[in-house]
Amino acid sequence: MTHKTLLRGGTLITASDMFAADLLIAGERIAAIGRDLVAPDAQVLDVRGKFILPGGVDPHVHLDLPMFGTVSSDDHYTGTKAAAFGGTTTVLDFVPLDHPTLTASVQAWKAKADPKVAVDYGLHMNITRWDDAIRDEMARLPEMGITSIKVFMAYNGRLRLQDGEIFQALRRARELGLLTMLHAENGDVIEVLVEEALAQGHTEPVWHARTRPAWGAVEAALRGAALAQQAQAPLYIVHMNTAGEVDVLRYAREKGLPVMGETCPQYLFFTEEHLARPDGAKWICSPPMRTPADNAGLWRGLELGVLQTVGTDHCPFFFDGTRPIEYEGQPVAIPGKELGKDDFTKIPNGVPGVGDRLPVLWTKGVVEGRLTPQQFVALTATNPAKIFGLYPRKGVLAPGADADVVVWDPDLQVTYGVQVAQHRTDYNLYEGWELTGFPVQVFLRGRLIVDHGEWLGQAGQGRYLARQAFRGQVL
């Protein structure tokens, strides 16, 4: 017999509406939405005074990612568990091109992820070298359910493609119904500035930001938009971090270019000054934090609809991996940012965030009046689902959609930090922040997996999501 759950008396929030209604879950799907629903065989949950949101879709996470002789501290279980506690029920991870073929790389990554994932997940494919074999094999990606690729303008000698190769990748992606994602920084300038900084004895964390100038990101974003136009292919610029990039995105979209943009919470709140603190390594990620003016420009981009999504670029490391923390009753220590204590270029790049995204953005965006509740849902769930071929299965409250449902208490006050967040690491960027509004119950395909701070989920309960081809619709 199909298990049914009736959420009675809540206020539903979608990307376009906000209204009082009941929501009926039958099995793994949303069965009905309406006032005064009747379901005699359903378990009834009274959610009066609560909001009901679609589970968050994080379009940008890195789980179990090797880097600088260590590995990011959240694997596909711990990272997706943390996502669930924060109200996110779908994540999109990246497959490194670590094997001779795309197919072998995907198979190896899925073999690592599938037994561990605690929420549903999809994959993007990194294209970090370019030749005829890669070009031809890209045709297999849609067969594997992967309909997006990522290319880099930075990380010379490791991940970067040259502009002509990016142009070819864009055209090939267009032919195959794939969306191209772009890391926009100027790798050549970074290489020069890093070499100069080290030669002058500048080894502190703040030099990570000083050697990756904001104008390099602005210029690279414009170059990417121009390449997309010339290739007649859609482009999604990841982790936009400067006000200038928002200006570039607005300009490109006004000219009719098929370009979209994502930012991340860390770029809305923190600046280069955080990297100058004694614990500045905690804030090292690439691209780096910028200035208060950039924070403000990114907020405007969200408010005005210039930016389409908020992802996290979740890629945590221990601040001090020599000191164990307790995780699920066991001591865990993983080498982390202490590896670069004498050289900023050896500090693993990345910050935690997958569990923080919704609670922090709700307080700072919705409660403080920068975003409407509907914009919040669009940016964190509906738009990512639409852009990455998951809609209308994910990112929406509608009959027939997966019952990924979050019961949100708008009045719950939480002193946030590492003890509340469920990431497997030893710090949190938002330590001590006072938040208002928090997820109290989280359903994954109709199954209650987080209940008022209690974990009811398990490793392997998440499913791999084969995604639809990009339909040419640029939000």
For residues 322 and 70, the answer to whether their CB atoms sit within 8 Å is no
Average pLDDT, the chain: 97
- 78-105, pLDDT tens digit by residue? 999 999 999 999 999 999 999 999 999 9
- Those residues whose C-beta lies under 8 Å from the C-beta of residue 400, and which sit 6 or more positions away, are 29, 30, 392
CA angle, 455 then 459 then 464, to 5°: 120
**Quick check: pTM over 0.95?**
yes
Can you give the pLDDT at residue 343? 96
Name all domains of the chain by residue range, CATH numbers in brackets. Answer: 4-54+394-455 (2.30.40.10), 56-384 (3.20.20.140)
Return d(Cα 416, Cα 433) in angstroms, integer: 5
Residue 380: how many other CB atoms lie within 10 Å: 30
Return d(Cα 97, Cα 166) in angstroms, integer: 16
Q: 69: burial class by Cβ within 10 Å (0-12, 13-18, 19+)?
A: exposed
Q: Which residues of the chain have pLDDT under 50?
A: none
Q: Which of 274, 218, 276, 212 is nearest to 242 (CA)?
A: 218
Can you give the pLDDT at residue 1? 76
- 207-220, pLDDT tens digit by residue? 999 999 999 999 99
